[in-house]
Amino acid sequence: MTPEQQRAALVAALTDAGSLPAEWAPAVAAVPRHEFLPDTIWADEDGGDTECSRTKEPERWMRLAYSDLPIVTQWDDGAGDGDHRTPTSSASMPTMVAEMLSDLDAVPGHRVLEIGTGTGYNAALLAHRLGAETVSTVEVDAQVTAQARTALRRTGYTPEVVCGDGALGWGARAPYDRIISTVSLRDIPPAWVAQTRPGGVIVSPVSPLLGGGAIVRLTVGGDGTASGPFTRSAAFMMLRQQRYQGTPVDDYLPGEWPGDSGQSWTSLDPEAIGGDWLAQFACALALPDVYYRRNEFGDGGWTWWLFDTAVTSWATVDSVPGESRFEVRQSGPRQLWDETEASYTRWTAAGRPGYERYGLTVSPAGQAAWLDEPGNPLPGHRK
């Protein structure tokens, strides 16, 4: 198939799945996604990110360009040492692109700011429908910015492309009617709220420390706050300024194991949380300052380590296959496993609510997650 035919097939597939709003179909049909991809890409076709070269495998490369798959375009912030560890730039999965544009609900005449230019493809979609003069896009990586700017110009799209810190937004063209982020974060930056008109909308992936992730759609009020529900699950690369590097274990546990920890037992296998993206997200929202590490031992066993960001408390739980109870060790002023188990129990008692029942309110004082309505904040967010 020609690229035009492949774009038409992609539009049909996204439309049939209910992901692509009719008003965005002409943009997806017109913007050549393949023109925004580098010659070497990585795609997860069979459980792992496999490399594909346009020179060596032109047909496969073009097929991947119009597949409903996320495409990795950079590893390790472009370090280029050949030892790929962490994907750091990509072309998002077309389904997610279409659904986030639906959440954004932008119309011609709206001024839009995009955070995370990446390849430039999403900026081109925005420019095609809304007009390039109303679209600004910010990218922190200078090399990625240059590549996106070149691709946009080559394909005839001229939105404003800025190399800068996306956490600061882009005040030069504020206020905006819409802000959309294609990178995930833990905390919505205050600058985004300040740079959005009252009644305007912010759409962004959110990834709490403990795990899980979802898209939030916030409506900005006239009082400097923004609030709204999560709409769907999502996994995006983190905003570089909000990446979290955990403290070494020795800072929590001086001396020999098990230190001053107390022993107890639980009937909840931590893998029941870790193996369920929604459960993990629900617990993570309630425990915004808790993160985990996970180490394998024995025949399929896993030790879960829980830590607080204040470096005061830690806990471990040993998940042993086939067992009905699991050893817990906890130390510090907080009993982190007890808090995690309580969060999981509240989630199951509430009927295992989905993403759309959770929401977020952002104010100058910080942000608070809630269930069903802003007046019902989760325990970890009560002030």
pLDDT for residue 78:
87
Give the active site residue among 92, 136, 204, 343: 92
Q: Which domains can be identified in the chain, with CATH numbers?
A: 97-243+353-383 (3.40.50.150), 249-349 (3.30.160.690)
Q: With contact defined as beta carbons under 8 Å apart, do 130 and 112 qualify? A: yes
pLDDT for residue 121:
98
- 195 CB-side CA count, 13 A: 25
Q: In whole angstroms, what is the distance from residue 220 CA to residue 193 CA?
A: 7
Q: Which residue's structure tokens are 């493809």?
A: 121
Name the least confident of 35-44, 101-110, 217-226, 254-263.
254-263
Residues 156-201 pLDDT 10s: 999 999 999 999 999 999 999 999 999 999 999 999 999 999 999 9
Beta bridge partners of 306: 292, 315
Average pLDDT value for residue range 347-355 = 97
Q: In whole angstroms, what is the distance from residue 147 CA to residue 362 CA?
A: 34
Average pLDDT value for residue range 136-146 = 97
Question: Does 148 or 380 have the greater pLDDT score?
Answer: 148
Does residue 253 carry a pLDDT above 90?
no
pLDDT for residue 381:
59
Does residue 84 carry a pLDDT above 80?
no
Bridging pattern class, strands 326-331 and 314-319: antiparallel
Q: Is 92 a catalytic residue?
A: yes
Does residue 383 carry a pLDDT above 50?
no
pLDDT for residue 80:
67
Given pLDDT bands bounded at 50, 70 and 90, which one contains residue 37?
very high
pLDDT for residue 254:
81
Does residue 55 carry a pLDDT above 60?
yes
Residues 294-315 pLDDT 10s: 999 988 899 999 999 999 999 9
Tell me phi and psi for residue 160, to 5 degrees. -70, 125
Mean pLDDT score of the chain? 94
Residues 359-369 pLDDT 10s: 999 999 899 99
User: What tokens appear for 23 in the block?
Assistant: 């008003």
Given pLDDT bands bounded at 50, 70 and 90, which one contains residue 255?
confident
Does residue 382 carry a pLDDT above 60?
no
Given pLDDT bands bounded at 50, 70 and 90, which one contains residue 3?
very high
